[in-house]
Amino acid sequence: MYLSTRIINLARAARLALPILLACATSSCLTSCVKSETQLNASAVEHKLDANGQDIGQTETKIVTRADGTRIATVTKRNLNGHGKVISTVAVSEQIASDSAHDPTAAADRVTVEEVAAVAEKADRDYVDGWIDGRDPRVFKSYYKTLTPVQKAEFAMAYHDMVEKSDQNLAQSYKTYIPYKKRVAFARNYWENSQFGAKFKSEIEKMQVAWIHESLLDGSELWWRAAEGRFGNRISSPSQMAHDVEQNMVSKYMEDEGTESTFSQQMTDKTKIKTKTN
């Protein structure tokens, strides 16, 4: 349900900005739109599945920078017949005037901890599939799962503030992505100095790693779902895409746009430490 809803919101958000082009029924009509575009900044594809798991719809978002510096976001919706064949295609393009013009969080109207806690309370109560990047269910293995909705929300707000104060702007470039190690350092410092500090420090290393990873992904998603509830259609397609890209990169423990990692690689290498000590 979440996946199909977010696909609808993505296309709706694109239509509400400043449409500069409505392409018609075939993808070939996009050719004339991209001649002056010189750099692809970001792209993402969302899939809509039927009850049998067949792909019946795709929403592709691309952000490009033209030679004159103008940034264009294009959302392309494709309807499929369930066997991979495209039935129809509709594309909507919008010019991105500035980040603040498309980011409702730049205004005084901001998400509150109460709104995030409400999302967490509902998510804790229900089983949620497709929670992260429309794919992973909301299941926790660490002590993080025992926290109250308010406690989860407080971390989500602190984490969002850290990201917001950084230079990250994934709608403009993946190169601005905050490295995973920096996110881990923030989360570790937060939990070690929180009311759960003693509990966090008493956990074995792999459970600390899980606690940090789960809180980073969940905190970001809780804040985002609260933002969707507050701002609705005012959220632009570039902002939606940037969030999904960030969650996908964090879920893969990525240090930068080309360097993935794993859960086990987050663990301290005891051999190297021992060698260094000797």
Q: Which residue has the higher pLDDT, 122 or 53?
A: 122
Q: Given the structure tokens 């998510």, which residue do they identify?
A: 123
- Residue 70 shares a structural domain with residue 22: yes
Residue 19 pLDDT level (bands cut at 50, 70, 90): very low
Domain that holds residue 74: 2-97
Please name every residue paired with 48 in a beta bridge, in sequence order, or none if there are none. Answer: 57
Q: Are residues 18 and 139 in the same domain?
A: no
Q: In this predicted model, what pLDDT tens digit does every residue of 126-138 receive, in sequence order?
A: 988 889 878 889 9
In a domain, 24, yes or no: yes
Does residue 263 lie within any of the structural domains? yes
The answer to whether residue 277 is domain-embedded is no
Q: What is the structure's pLDDT at 38?
A: 53
Same domain? 77 vs 143: no
Question: Are residues 122 and 235 part of one domain?
Answer: yes
Q: What is the pLDDT of residues 147-182, one digit of tens each?
A: 999 999 999 999 999 999 999 999 999 999 999 999
Task: Report yes or no on 147 lying in a domain.
Answer: yes
% the chain with pLDDT above 90: 50
Per the CB < 8 A criterion, the answer to whether 226 and 116 are in contact is yes
Residue 227's SS3 state is helix
- Does 186 have pLDDT greater than 60? yes
For the cut 50, the answer to whether the pLDDT of residue 275 exceeds it is no
Distance CA 145, CA 143 (A): 5
Residue in this structure with the two tokens 């991105």, named with its chain if needed:
96
- Residue 16's pLDDT is what? 40
- Examine the fold and report which residue of 97, 123, 143 is the final residue of a domain before the chain moves on: 97
Residue 133 and residue 262 in one domain? yes
How is residue 179 annotated by DSSP?
Answer: P
Instruction: Determine, yes or no, domain membership for 19.
Output: yes
CA geometry: angle 135, 137, 138, nearest 5 deg: 135
How far, in Å, CA of 18 to CA of 37, rounded? 18
pLDDT of residue 136: 83
Helix (H, G, I), strand (E, B) or coil at 20: strand
- Tell me the C-alpha distance between 272 and 63, whole Å: 43
Residue 165 lies in a domain: yes
Instruction: Flag whether pLDDT at 27 surpasses 70.
Output: no
Confidence band of 99 (pLDDT split at 50, 70, 90): very low
Name the least confident of 96-100, 107-111, 208-212.
96-100
What domain count does the chain have? 2
How many other CB atoms sit within 10 Å of the CB of residue 259? Answer: 12
pLDDT at residue 48, as a whole number: 65
Q: Are residues 89 and 139 in the same domain?
A: no
Comparing 31 with 244, the larger pLDDT belongs to: 244
Is the entire prediction scored with pTM above 0.75? no
Average pLDDT of 263-273?
Answer: 71
User: When comparing pLDDT for 173 and 81, which is higher?
Assistant: 173
- Pick from 83, 132, 101, 142: nearest CA to 266: 142
Contact 113, 183 (CB under 8 A): no
Residue 82 belongs to some domain of the structure: yes
- For residue 221, what pLDDT band results from cuts at 50, 70 and 90? very high
Instruction: Tell me the pLDDT of the chain averaged across its residues.
Output: 77
Distance CA 16, CA 40 (A): 23
The pLDDT score that the predictor gives to residue 85 is 76
pLDDT at 203: 97
Reported as half-sphere exposure (CB side, CA atoms, 13 A), residue 68 has a value of: 7
83 vs 102, which has greater pLDDT? 83
Least confident of 19-28, 62-71, 156-165, 242-251: 19-28
**Considering 46, 71, 97, which residue would you say is the last residue of a domain?**
97
Residue 25 clears pLDDT 50, i.e. is over it? no
Residues 44 and 17 in one domain: yes
User: Which residue, of 54, 76, 97, is where some domain finishes?
Assistant: 97
Instruction: Specify whether 116 is located in the same domain as 250.
Output: yes
Q: Where are the beta strands (DSSP E) in the chain?
A: 19-23, 37-49, 55-66, 71-80, 86-96
* DSSP class per residue in 53-67: S-EEEEEEEEEEEET
Q: Are residues 71 and 206 in the same domain?
A: no
Residue 25 has, within 13 A of its CA and on its CB side, a CA count of 2
DSSP letter string, 222-274: HHHHHHHHHHGGGS-HHHHHHHHHHHHHHHTT-SBTTB---SGGGS--HHHHH
Tokens 């993935």 sit on residue: 260
| Same-domain status, 112 and 77 | no
Domain presence at residue 275: no
Q: So what's the pLDDT on residue 104?
A: 45
Average pLDDT of the residues in 216-237: 95
Q: Are residues 134 and 249 in the same domain?
A: yes
Based on the fold, state whether residues 146 and 200 are members of the same structural domain.
Answer: yes
Amino acid 8: pLDDT: 40
